[in-house]
Amino acid sequence: MKKSKTIFKLINILLLTTIFSTSKTYVACEGHFYSGSGSITVINNNELYNINDLGNTVQSLKIHNDKLFVIVNGSSLIHVYEITDLGESLLATIETGDSGPREMEIHNGYLYFTNWYSNDIKYMSLNDFQIIGEIPLDGLPEDIVSDGNYLWVAMNMNLDWTDGNTVLKINTLTNEIEEYTVGDGPKNLLVHNGDVYISRTYYDLDWNTYHGTSRINEDGSIEQMNYGYGLACGGSIMVYNNQIYRSFDGGIAPLDDSLNIQESLRIGDYGYWNVYDVKTIDNNVYIAITDWNELHKAAILNSTGEEIGLYNTGIIPTDFEAWDTCVPNGDYNQDNETNIIDVIVIVEIILDSQTVELCNIDMNHDNLLNITDVILIIDQILNY
């Protein structure tokens, strides 16, 4: 009888994580400049619908614990939605005080977001969505990422709107800031295997565009590579197949150890003049395509570089987030059984500080993988 009961429970877990799983992709769409036409296109199992009238210039998205956070830059708003299989419901709209919010990150239980007009980083409670503090900065911050211990912030421009050249490492417990000079125009950031990668875009006095990439190594040393004028290189940087890639010439191309772009290995060809933003999620590549007039699409490529979707979106797509109903069950190797093998692999992942998909192993939904999750998995094994 006990064995039958255990089998029945395992079958229920499997059903929850497969049959009833729903996946959605959210595409931020800026809208025409100051027209109020910012929106989100939702791709729900190849069915599309829009969340409209969000304000001026939808800038960025972040999903955390089944909640979708939406920054609207021109309107200085943050919308918060509850996500379910059935749709999205608006929980709150936060006014940021004409701060010009840009990018955001979840860190130590708060949502931190960068602001151009108020020259700071503000942070918000994830419980009641109240802005409870700020970190003043000497410039215009752009991208913001967390390595689990510190926040890293790209200082894209100086207070006079000339190109900035620094990345900040911020201890949010003490507000101590360490500054790294990485080269002109730091834009997007990526933490990978203890190193911080920085895509750079900067301009000369005639507004000619230049690109580069920098890396802050784990030991604090800095490497830079400048690609020069005229290279068809966008501002996105990402991990794909466990390798660093940059948006390049209408697709993405890997970087070698010296940060050179390996042009011959480019994946995707959507026209360098049309690719506005690129992001990778679960080793799929999401490419925002627009001519800022009539062409507005999102392409999705799989881990082999094959296009698996091409969708019409709202006006000027720019950022992506993905959501699914995956239920944490501890079955990391997805062999339909949670056991000591999963525990051993997960402990190795924690010890090696590997970046992996947390969906079915983040047992307490805190967006972190640590000993607490291991204890909960072991408890689940012992109780089944």
- Cβ proximity of 140 and 159 under 8 Å: yes
Contact 278, 267 (CB under 8 A): no
Q: What pTM, to 2 d.p., does this model score?
A: 0.82
Q: Which of 77-91, 224-238, 271-285 has the lowest mean pLDDT?
A: 224-238
Reduced to 3 states (helix: H, G, I; strand: E, B; else coil), residue 122 is: strand
DSSP 358: -
Terminal C-alpha separation, the chain: 13
pLDDT of residue 13: 40
Rounded to whole angstroms, the Cα distance separating 140 from 100 reads 10
Which residues on adjacent β-strands are paired with residue 339? none
- Strand-pair partners of 62: 69
Q: How far is CA 376 from the centre of its chain?
A: 27
Report DSSP letters for 221-276, one per residue: -EEEEEEEET--EEEEEEEETTEEEEEETTEEEEB-TT--B-GGG-B--S-TTTEE
Question: Edge-to-edge strand order for the sheet containing 275-281?
Answer: 275-281, 284-290, 296-301, 307-312
Where do the structural domains in the chain lie, given as residue ranges?
2-16+326-383, 37-324
Percentage of the residues of the chain whose pLDDT score is greater than 90? 72
Q: How far is CA 252 from CA 87, 229, 269, 286, in A?
A: 32, 18, 9, 10
Q: What are the two backbone dihedrals, phi and then psi, of residue 80, each rounded to the nearest 5 degrees?
A: -125, 125
Query: DSSP state, 16?
Result: H
Instruction: Output the pLDDT for position 326.
Output: 65
State the pLDDT at residue 362.
83
Q: Closest Cα to residue 168, out of 125, 138, 192? A: 138
Tokens found for residue 331:
């079955």
Residue 225 near residue 267, CB atoms below 8 Å: no
Top CATH class, 37-324: mainly beta
- Residue 336 has a pLDDT of 66
Query: pLDDT tens digit string along 166-188?
Result: 999 999 999 999 999 999 999 99
Which pLDDT score is estimated for 384? 61
Instruction: Tell which wins on pLDDT, 15 or 287.
Output: 287
Element (H, E) at 155: strand 151-157
Q: Is the pLDDT of residue 11 over 70?
A: no
Q: What is the spatial distance between Cα 380 and Cα 384, in angstroms, rounded to a whole number? A: 6
**193 by DSSP, 3-state: which?**
coil
DSSP state letter for 326: P
* Three-class SS state of 67: strand
CA pair distance 297, 299, nearest whole angstrom? 7
Q: Of the given ranges (42-56, 282-296, 325-339), which has the lowest mean pLDDT? A: 325-339
Averaged confidence pLDDT in the chain: 90
2-16+326-383 CATH, one of 1.10.1330, 1.20.950, 3.30.70, 3.40.50: 1.10.1330
The average pLDDT across 354-365 equals: 75
**How far are the Cα atoms of 29, 192, 212, 223, 241 from residue 217, in angstroms, in the given order?**
34, 10, 16, 8, 20
> What token pair was written down for 161?
């709107």
- For 141-154, what is the mean pLDDT? 97
What element of type H or E holds 383? helix 371-383
